[in-house]
Structure 1
């Protein structure tokens, strides 16, 4: 937060210095707004012809100030740095074109030389670049991870009447998956017995059947001798 405020203040100072510099003396008592903007890109170079306000060096500096203000509002370090590069670029280009026209350039002294207007433009561009380094910039918001829901299970086929096909049971979504029973771990030193399906098969030995003992046939009831039934004589009293 502190770096953002400090960077914004520096950017405002740099933009103000850049816009105010064309109204100061640049060279040999001549204001910066009197230099024509088209002379910087023409083959004739800098001449003594005076320019209009929006056809002079004032125009690129105003554009740079607007870009800096937009960068401060959006908290964009790139826009603030771009504004500083515009100011420095036009100031350096003017000095190069003026040096070609005059043959040499001097700073201050008794004769004509670079004055406070050039220093204000160069200083304003440097302050704008410094502000872009101080500003933390706009933080990117990290998108929240959306929880992906698992795809729905395929519905069992239905018949023409809308009921489920025979043999299909509804799936219980809240049922826990079946867990396998824990397997007993072998004790150290104890010989484990192989599973039933791993044991070798042994041939079954069929013993010969023993003959059944023949019991003597029991005579039928009519063949047994009958015994007389003893009856008590009647009592004659």
Structure 2
């Protein structure tokens, strides 16, 4: 059984994920929008959150430091800690993330890795107290990896807060149960602006259906939209 997945995002009216590029708003600041986003994140009372490699790299900020002797490593998963209260999950197919400690802001780190990741990288993660799950097939089966998160770490509700690529992968695989979208009263306007979900040239047409659950006007011009995904 997989966790209940809520994709929780904030975006401009034209879909941008980068508040630093938004137009200004007379009714709010980027800091206030971020604070409301985090408040709703906490209200969801998730057991963890998941992001992609690029987003996690901004938080982990560590370099490679593999142990001199990798020795025997655990596959397909290694559980360093359980019962930590909350988990920071990262999707890192190529094994490029490194950590100097086993948590992000107190949330224990679990990394989802590709099938061909080197034993030396797994040994590094284990030595740093980080948990991991390695794909058992060449194509990462996200559904099966989510089942491991549920079974081994008791993650029942997971907040998907990644970039467009990871969000698109989860939507296309039919793994998202709900979309929580905060729309900021701002525009990006760049020709290269990318929305909060993307899945290559084929897009997501016909792959899912959204049903509006609620629409709420919040402070500072934000609108909170919630959709069931089916």
Same fold (TM over 0.5): no
The higher-RCO structure (CA 8 Å, 6+ apart) is 2
- Return the structure number with greater strand share: 2
Greater Cα radius of gyration, structure 1 or 2: 1
